[in-house]
């Protein structure tokens, strides 16, 4: 019984660590309720900075959809794109937050812009783990 329980714990920890890049992607790039006026607040509350620092991130894109809709891009709702990436077959509403002023947290101030674009992401298995860019058209 102890061996079975230990194996279950090990498997659970392995699955959890495999999902970490996806959880980070969701935290950093998916927000159904995002608006152009909330960039400062959302970037601050989610602690979005340049990786491993307190430096303000120059740009961050929020996809205005739920996680399930974006995850579908890694399957039938997407197609292969440059360098092992995947592009959505349909455009998504997004909010792009671009740094206006400030170098370090908490003085980061952003300007938001709302657009509709195709999203280009990297998938691991069936899950998005990296937002590469947005594009105006599939062509």
The Cα–Cα gap between 44 and 127 comes to 25
> What average pLDDT score do residues 84-97 get?
98
CB of 70 within 8 A of CB of 94?
no
Which residues does the annotation mark as catalytic?
29, 130
pLDDT value of position 139: 57
Of the listed ranges 5-9, 30-34, 88-92, 116-120, the one predicted with least confidence: 5-9
The CATH number that applies at residue 117 is 3.10.130.10
Indicate the number of domains in the chain.
1
pLDDT value of position 52: 78
Give this prediction's pTM: 0.84
Identify the domain containing residue 94 by its residue range: 2-135
When the pLDDT of each residue in the chain is averaged and rounded to a whole number, the result is 88
pLDDT value of position 53: 86
Residue 76, phi then psi, degrees to nearest 5:
-75, -15
């Amino acid at each position: 019984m102890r061996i079975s329980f230990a194996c279950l714990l090990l498997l659970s920890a392995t699955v959890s660590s495999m999902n970490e890049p996806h959880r980070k992607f969701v935290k950093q790039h998916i927000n159904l309720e995002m608006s152009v006026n909330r960039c400062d607040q959302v970037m601050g509350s989610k602690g979005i900075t340049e990786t491993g620092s307190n430096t303000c991130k120059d740009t961050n894109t929020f996809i205005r959809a739920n996680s399930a809709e974006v995850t579908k891009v890694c399957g039938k709702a997407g197609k292969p794109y440059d360098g092992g990436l995947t592009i959505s077959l349909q455009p998504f509403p997004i909010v792009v937050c671009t740094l206006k002023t400030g170098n370090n947290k908490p003085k980061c101030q952003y300007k938001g812009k709302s657009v509709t674009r195709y999203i280009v992401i990297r998938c691991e298995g069936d899950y998005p783990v990296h937002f590469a860019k947005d594009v105006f058209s599939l062509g």
